[in-house]
Amino acid sequence: MKLLVLAAGYATRLYPLTLHKAKSLLEVAGRPMIEHALATTEGVAGLDRIYVVTNEKFKQDFETWAGAYRKTRPHCPPITIVNDHSTDDSDKLGAIGDIKLVIDSQKIADDLLVIGGDNLFKSSLAEFAKYAVRHGPTLGVYDVGDLKQMKKYGNVSVDGEGRIIEFIEKPAQPKTTLAAMCLYYYPRTTLPLINQYVKEGNNLDQPGRLIAWLYQRQPVYAHQIRGQWLDIGSFETLELAQRLFAP
pLDDT at residue 59 tops 90: yes
- Evaluated on CA atoms 175, 94, 119, 135, the torsion sign reads positive
pLDDT band, residue 173 (cuts 50/70/90): confident
Q: What is the average pLDDT score of the chain?
A: 93
pLDDT band, residue 203 (cuts 50/70/90): very high
Query: What does DSSP say about strands 27-28 and 2-6: parallel, antiparallel, or unpaired?
Result: unpaired
Q: What is the largest CA-CA distance in the chain?
A: 49
Query: Which pLDDT score is estimated for 122?
Result: 84
The whole model's pTM is what? 0.94
Of the listed ranges 9-13, 134-138, 171-175, 192-196, the least confidently predicted one is: 171-175
CA angle 113, 116, 121 (to 5 degrees): 95
> What are the pLDDT digits (tens) for 86-132?
999 889 999 999 999 999 999 999 999 999 999 998 889 999 999 99
> What are the pLDDT digits (tens) for 150-168?
888 889 999 999 999 999 9
End-to-end, the C-alpha distance of the chain in Å comes to 30
2-244 adopts what CATH topology? Spore Coat Polysaccharide Biosynthesis Protein SpsA; Chain A (3.90.550)
> What are the pLDDT digits (tens) for 10-57?
998 899 989 999 999 999 999 999 999 999 999 999 999 999 999 999
Residue 98 near residue 53 (C-beta atoms within 8 A): yes
Pairwise CA distance, residues 242 & 230, whole Å: 11
Query: Which pLDDT score is estimated for 213?
Result: 96
Pairwise CA distance, residues 64 & 133, whole Å: 33
Query: Which pLDDT score is estimated for 65?
Result: 97
Domain boundaries, the chain: 2-244
Query: Which pLDDT score is estimated for 172?
Result: 84
Query: Which pLDDT score is estimated for 106?
Result: 97
